[in-house]
A and B are shown apart, each in its own frame.
Chain A
Amino acid sequence: MPGLLEAVQASQASSRTVNVVMLRLAPHADETVVAREIRRWKHLEAYTRADMDEILIAKLIATSAKQIFMFLVILAVVSAAIVAFIIYTMTLAKVREIAVLKLIGARNRTIAGMILQQALGLGVIGFVVGRTAAALWAPVFPKYVLLLPGDAVIGAALVMAICALASIVAIRAALRVDPATAIGG
């Protein structure tokens, strides 16, 4: 194994232990054969380029992806709660207007549609601000996260779905408003 001894000696000059040695094989050398030979030595393990790719992708990147996914789920739940709270508060502030709309003949689905539009509008604003901020700030973040156009489309669809779900509580509250409350004190 050309260079192995020199590499071990060089590393021992500065450190008393050797953890990892990277090998560059001669052209046409079979890496699986080399790895098998090394594994015969006691206390040594050898990984080929394919093994390293597997470790990187299946373990490190997959673990990071799971962590990021978990953060996304938590953020989605928190976002849904915030949007629901905002829309619900805005709806409660308009109880009298909703009662008037019902009194003058608006259908429940018209009122529900107005609240849904408000929630989706909030989602569109949030997505545009978020996507713009991500594009501007991504270069200064220590870890590069690749955002593909397809991811943005899926993200937009998820934001809209979250906002639509978040508006359900407010819609239920609006539909319970009695049109009679528009009249009198």
Chain B
Amino acid sequence: MTHPAIEISGLTKRYGAGDTAVEALKGVDMVVQPGEVVGLIGPSGSGKSTLLKCLGAVIEPTAGRMALAGEVIYDHGWKVADLRALRRDRIGFVFQAPYLIPFLDVTDNVAVLPMLAGEANGKARDRAREMLAALDVGHRAQAQVPQLSGGEQQRVAIARALVNQPPIILADEPTAPLDSERALTVIRILNEMAQRFGTAIIVVTHDEKIIPTFRRIYHIRDGRTYEEAGEARAA
């Protein structure tokens, strides 16, 4: 039996205490299957970033339960001792800007993740080159970051997120700075990679042009999520 890649129930996050406390998440439920690309849409201040930070294990929820690929990582407290290793090995991140390391070449920017995981430099670079080739930027493997176009830099960032083959990827407005054509290309790549590696991908976005490409969307408003079913979207 295959477990959902992401399973969240009753997730709550409260900032502050007493009268000034703000509840950013109010019992969020979410299930994402392996190989699925899901949109997470909501206005500013709705709790998107907080949910992503909880899922990314960089802030601790106040209550609820989170499981990745069947393993409970949070249940009213972290169940994983090394959150840094959890992020490194099991969660990929794609951001609005690529945030590549400017003084490393393209290969090393991708290889840095397996290197951080303790893999030998040569093997890490081989894996980086394979992932760059899969994303059609293999011919830029030796280039320096400033030599790449915006679209190429975003592909390299996706390669970096995928190189350790994490079960989930969290993409925080990955198409925001791109034009329609490049934005749709990025989404197509994410869909292809999700299918190819069985990765579950959550894409946080405001981008109207890519919203129709999602088969399933979670809307978030005032700290609560509402799922828009595939049938409803088709209608």
Interface residues of A (CB under 8 A from B): 96-97, 100-107, 110, 178-180, 182-185
**18 extra interchain contacts, Cβ-Cβ under 8 A, other than A97-B102, A178-B58, A183-B49?**
A96-B97, A97-B99, A100-B93, A101-B101, A103-B93, A104-B93, A104-B116, A105-B84, A107-B116, A179-B58, A180-B53, A180-B59, A182-B95, A183-B52, A183-B56, A184-B53, A185-B44, A185-B49
Residue from A102, A107, A185 with most neighbouring chain B CB atoms (10 Å): A185
Contact of B87 among A96, A97, A105, A178 (CB under 8 A): A105
Contact of A184 among B52, B88, B116 (CB under 8 A): B52
Q: Which 10 A-B pairs have the closest CB atoms?
A: A105-B88, A184-B49, A180-B58, A100-B99, A179-B58, A180-B53, A105-B87, A105-B116, A183-B52, A105-B84
Q: How far is the CB of A113 from chain B (nearest CB, A)?
A: 12
Knowing A97-B99, A180-B59, A182-B95 touch, does A107 contact B84 (C-beta < 8 A)? Answer: yes
Knowing A103-B58, A105-B89 touch, does A96 contact B99 (C-beta < 8 A)? Answer: yes
Q: Are B99 and A182 in contact (CB under 8 A)?
A: yes
Q: How far is the CA of A139 from the CA of B97 in the complex (A)?
A: 53
Question: Contact string, B47-60, partner A, CB cutoff 8 A, digits 1/0?
Answer: 01100110010110
Interface size bucket, B side? 20 to 34
Contact residues in B for A101 (Cβ distance below 8 Å): 101
Question: Contact string, B72-105, partner A, CB cutoff 8 A, digits 1/0?
Answer: 0000000000001101110001010101011000
Does B194 count as interface, using CB distance less than 8 angstroms? Answer: no
Q: Are B116 and A110 in contact (CB under 8 A)?
A: yes
Knowing A96-B99, A105-B89, A105-B116 touch, does A183 contact B84 (C-beta < 8 A)? Answer: no
B100-134 interface (Cβ within 8 A of A): 101-102, 112-113, 116-117
Contact residues in A for B99 (Cβ distance below 8 Å): 96-97, 100, 182
Contact residues in A for B49 (Cβ distance below 8 Å): 183-185
Q: How far is the CB of A114 from chain B (nearest CB, A)?
A: 9
Q: How far is the CA of A52 from the CA of B89 in the complex (A)?
A: 76
Q: Are B48 and A184 in contact (CB under 8 A)?
A: yes
Contact residues in A for B36 (Cβ distance below 8 Å): none
B28-62 interface (Cβ within 8 A of A): 44, 48-49, 52-53, 56, 58-59
Q: How far is the CB of A17 from chain B (nearest CB, A)?
A: 70
Contact residues in A for B48 (Cβ distance below 8 Å): 184
Contact residues in B for A178 (Cβ distance below 8 Å): 58
Describe A's contact surface by its main secondary structure: helix
Contact residues in B for A179 (Cβ distance below 8 Å): 58, 87
Contact residues in A for B58 (Cβ distance below 8 Å): 103, 178-180, 182-183
Contact residues in A for B85 (Cβ distance below 8 Å): 105
Q: Are A104 and B113 in contact (CB under 8 A)?
A: yes
Q: How far is the CA of A162 from the CA of B56 in the complex (A)?
A: 39
Q: How far is the CA of A165 from the CA of B79 in the complex (A)?
A: 39
Q: How far is the CA of A106 from the CA of B97 in the complex (A)?
A: 19
Q: How far is the CA of A104 from the CA of B53 in the complex (A)?
A: 13
Q: How far is the CB of B66 from chain A (nearest CB, A)?
A: 16
Residue from B44, B48, B53, B99 with most neighbouring chain A CB atoms (10 Å): B99
Contact of A100 among B53, B84, B95 (CB under 8 A): B95
Knowing A100-B93, A100-B99 touch, does A184 contact B87 (C-beta < 8 A)? Answer: no
In the complex, residue of chain A having the shortest beta-carbon distance to the beta carbon of B92: A104
Contact residues in A for B116 (Cβ distance below 8 Å): 104-107, 110
Q: How far is the CB of B110 from chain A (nearest CB, A)?
A: 11
In the complex, residue of chain B having the shortest beta-carbon distance to the beta carbon of A178: B58
Contact residues in A for B172 (Cβ distance below 8 Å): 183-184
CB pairs A–B below 8 angstroms (26 shown):
A96-B97, A96-B99, A97-B102, A100-B95, A101-B101, A103-B56, A103-B87, A104-B88, A104-B112, A104-B113, A104-B116, A104-B160, A105-B84, A105-B89, A105-B113, A105-B116, A106-B112, A107-B116, A180-B53, A182-B93, A182-B99, A183-B53, A183-B58, A184-B49, A184-B53, A184-B172
